[in-house]
Amino acid sequence: MNNNFTVASVTLLASNPPNLVSGPLLAGFGSGSGFPELQFVVELDGQQSSKFDLRTTQLYRLGAFQSLCVSEGSETVKERTYSKGITIQFEDEEESSAFHGAFEQWKSNAVTQGLSLPNGTVSSSKSKFDDKIEASSAKMYFHYYGQLLHQQNMMQDYVRTGSYYAAVIENKADFAGRVVVDVGAGSGILSLFAAQAGAKHVYAVEASEMADYAQKLIAGNPSLGQRITVIKGKVEDVELPEKADILISEPMGTLLINERMLESYVIARDRFLVPNGKMFPTVGRIHMAPFSDEYLYVEIANKSLFWQQQNYYGVDLTALHGTAFQGYFSQPVVDAFDPRLLVAPSISHIINFTTVKEEDLYEINIPLKFTASVGTRIHGLACWFDVLFNGSTVQRWLTTAPGAPTTHWYQLRCVLSQPIYIMQGQEITGHLHMIAHSAQSYTINLTMSAKMWGPGAKQGGILQTSSCKLDLKEPYYRMSQPQAYPAAQDQQPDQDLKHPSLADFVQQCSNDSDVQIL
């Protein structure tokens, strides 16, 4: 296959006005920079050249003798931008066809076979991230985190930011003189913390446009910034000049796993971390407990009353009431609730970030088993998470538990459309089954059952079962809604809780004229 071609002229579109460079020009395909590229060089003196990375370059025919070559820049929600573009004028149609054939062959080889890079790793034009995440979801995701106001919202979560700062500074021995990789660096704040702790060098990897702001922030702190390198790209794709002694990241989403960034954290571990290197955070735990909340149940159920109208401008809407009713119960509820709504001690599911496989996060199945501490009506399953920074000097937990200081993650509740009645001491069983999907989230299937109580219980029969299917991607944010109890911020999340009796709770609900008791 011919790798070198002569073209009549090229016009550089990036300049204003466009700059015509007359030939003859040499256009050549190669991989001298470690990736497949196309280079245009003035044949006479070789002083003027333009290179295109074929992994992000497209070639279009404008006519028999003319083509357009563009290199993709960044994508926003509204449009795709291009960082470079030229028009190519060929001597004849035969040369044009041969050039297009070579271009497609080189690009195809880069996609299907990958290309050996200088440090021995393999990369391809379509990353592992792109293979499993739909483009529209990724576009919205990186657009969201590319905005300063959302970074500010997270930075102003002082439980979150303060916990990270304390975990790093209290464990300077883990950072001093070490190479650190900040996975999904965002504003770069964690990279700066690592530099404060004495890191030898920090590689801040960020795929969104926030990388440019991170560079600005780091440059504004020169005493720390001289040891920080910002790398714009996905951890699945970028190459680093050296291995990391420690990874730091904030990969947690709602219910710990939402947004599927934990997978990127694990991929970064496998690609960049030295054997027995440290990860901050080290371990995550999802906590679960059944809850009773008549306020919440009635609020959700009443949303579908609109569809019970039989004469809405002459139209009967009732045919859609059942669908609307189930639709409202398919949304997980994100809010901060009082821990006294829990009706049994919590259980937990542990994810060890240092050993978990990426594929283990595609599907998570958690068996449920609780013993009711009160007799009441169970409305669903409450969930929250915490993470451990397992430092050599100090072990620090960051928790999102009810009763603890509220974070921007709040807590999450899966509400059953058919509540379950239980007695004190009765066993509650079920499954929480979460399946990852390409919109960077999970489908949640929850089943809860109350085992038989009284005579015949030893035979192990099931008395009641209720289930629901929810999309973690589409939660109901309820943070502004009034709570049944004032926040108990001084209560420790793991201490034993006293729960109100069902009679007291029903009486409290009855005193509120806006609440219906079903």
Contact 145, 186 (CB under 8 A): yes
Question: Phi and psi dihedrals of 398, rounded to 5?
Answer: -115, 115
3-state secondary structure of 100: helix
3-state secondary structure 447-507: EEEEECCCCCHHHCCEEEEEEEEEECCCCEECCCCCCCCCCCCCCCCCCCCCCCCHHHHHH
How far apart (Å, rounded) are the C-alpha atoms in residues 301 and 38?
61
Tell me the β-bridge partners of 256.
253
Q: Which of 335, 336, 332, 337 is nearest to 475 (CA)?
A: 332
Contact 229, 203 (CB under 8 A): yes
In angstroms, the first-to-last Cα distance of the chain is 76
How far apart (Å, rounded) are the C-alpha atoms in residues 280 and 231?
20
Tell me the β-bridge partners of 381.
290, 414
Task: List, by residue number, the catalytic residues.
Answer: 250, 259
3-state secondary structure of 430: strand
- Two tokens, residue 134: 């739909």
Q: What are the CA-CA distances from residue 362 to residues 88, 133, 250 (Å)?
A: 46, 12, 19
Q: Which long-range contacts (CB under 8 A, 24 or more apart) does 132-141 make?
A: 132/438, 133/260, 133/438, 133/439, 133/440, 134/438, 134/439, 137/438, 137/439, 137/440, 138/440, 139/75, 139/76, 139/77, 140/77, 141/259, 141/440
The residues, any chain, with a CB within 8 Å of residue 292's CB and separated by 6 or more, are 341, 343, 374, 376, 377, 378, 379, 502, 505
How far apart (Å, rounded) are the C-alpha atoms in residues 465 and 430?
9
